Amino acid sequence: MSLKSAAKERREAKAFPNGYVMSMKFIIQGGSRLEGEVFISGMKNAALPILFATILVGEPCILENIPNVSDIDVTLQILEEMGASVTRLSATSVQIDTANFNQGTAPYALVKRMRASTYLLGAELGRFHKACVGWPGGCNFGSRPIDQHMKGFEALGAVSTTDSGCIRLSAEEGLVGKSIYFDMVSVGATVNIMLAATLAEGVTVIDNAAREPHIVDLANFLNSCGASISGAGTSVIKIRGVSELHGCRYTIIPDMIEAGTFMVAAAATGGTVTVRSIIPKHVESVTAKLCEMGVGVEELDDAVIVSPATELQNVNIKTLPYPGFPTDMHPQFAPLLCLANGISCIQEGVFETRFRYVEELRKMGVSAMVDSRNATFVGGGKLTGAPVDAMDLRAGAALVIAGLAAEGRTEIGGVQYINRGYDNLVGKLRALGAKIEVVDLPSDEEILE
Ligand code: EPZ
């Protein structure tokens, strides 16, 4: 059964509680402490580059611990529509065989839905020495250029043109490894050059590379397929080109951002929650900030136990590339800072702007000032439930946390953004005692149609 018909069947059977309808809302009755344990899913931002990397392999790969989120479904749809054989083996595992993958223009209606579509460029260029991809979408954080991606492709020998909304790459003479220095740390550009260089002639060195755990996961996957990549996790990654890759079975790392989101939700509701199936080192900057606020965090081998602060203290946060404090955790901290004593500041060090969620939090009683890349939050207040709208994935998570901690009822619209990156968020929160439900509004619009 094709992915599209399977998705349609799931929708009809309503077997997909956090499904694809664009008109869903979360209704939260705040005030319940989260108590118990939650098991974290596989990492969206690790699974996406690895799914596109299967284009380089041309043989069956089995990927496990894949999160059940709409960005993954959109990616599997893109791969299938371009000729890959995609077989869902379970809710969290999939087999992908790209032997018959056709290089060409990916379906723009799907490509435009997410930033990760850019990875098609590196994967197709790496295998076919040409690529054509519509301009990618993704969360709106101001300008999100791809100049560093293009700098890397051109260094390897590709010629790039952009016309009618498509980015075209071609390397008629093939790709030859080079040393590439990134002007700024970029996860996407690091991923894309790793993909393009894996089958290139000679050695590619990426300097000032991103060091995120999902970069390491991509390198580990590619090496499991026979690639020769070293240095992932440091700022210098070396890729020795190989002639071909072979299939493999690979398990995706746990989602450090989902883990951090549940850690902050526990702290914001004053509950005690064990966050399981994680790599504690990946959330150590979140742990450090919560401890600075007076929250208890005990580290186990593959879990952390979060316990309430007697009194939440204010802190200052500056987001940076890994191992700095992750930008994808900045919105989730905002409601917590509002519950702490004193004044707290967040400085957004990665994106041009990421504070659109503050306007929504103001509707819930938050007092905050935003100036370009800095926001100041006045603590000591309380949050009150209100109708609000998610503007992007992590902003949506911030509003959920605020709703859980608020007095009264919160309605959150735009939850299709949240479903892009959180696997069964409602079910996991309910199991921890949250009073949250999903409401389908009348006009259904389906992402996968
Ligand atoms: C990835 O986005 C993630 N998305 C983002 O997560 C995450 O916030 C971001 O990395 C930083 O960690 C996925 O993995 C799918 P960047 P990406 O390239 O690759 C600038 C989420 O919530 N830049 O590291 O787009 C750029 O504008 C999402 O899961 C250039 O100027 O991020 C930004 O200011 C949101 N030129 C900064 O670098 C370039 O060529 C970092 O961007 C590339 C980037």
Tokens for 220, please give them: 């580990």
Atom of ligand 1 nearest to the CA of 138: 35
pLDDT value for 143: 75
Atom of ligand 1 nearest to the CA of 214: 14
Q: What is the mean pLDDT of each run of 10 residues along the chain (449 residues)?
A: 58 44 84 98 98 98 98 96 97 97 87 92 98 83 87 97 90 97 98 98 98 98 98 98 98 98 98 98 98 98 98 98 98 97 97 93 97 95 95 96 98 94 98 95 49
pLDDT value for 79: 97
Which protein residue has the closest C-alpha to ligand 1 atom 5?
Answer: 328
pLDDT value for 8: 57
pLDDT value for 16: 41
Atom of ligand 1 nearest to the CA of 191: 19
pLDDT value for 9: 57
pLDDT value for 87: 98
**Distance (Å) from CA 150 to ligand 1 centroid:** 15
**Distance (Å) from CA 422 to ligand 1 centroid:** 18
pLDDT value for 141: 75
Which protein residue has the closest C-alpha to ligand 1 atom 19?
Answer: 188
Name the class of domain 44-251: alpha beta
Determine which one of 139, 225, 248, 338 is catalytic.
139
CATH number of 3-41+254-446: 3.65.10.10
Which residue out of 115, 186, 255 has the highest number of ligand 1 atoms within 8 Å of its CB and is therefore the one to mutate? Answer: 186
Measured from CB, residues less than 6 Å from any atom of ligand 1 are 45, 48, 115-116, 139, 144-149, 184, 186-189, 327-328, 350-351, 393-394, 421
| pTM of the full structure | 0.94
**Distance (Å) from CA 312 to ligand 1 centroid:** 31
**Domain residue spans of the chain:** 3-41+254-446, 44-251
Atom of ligand 1 nearest to the CA of 326: 12
pLDDT value for 3: 60
Catalytic (active site) residue 139: yes
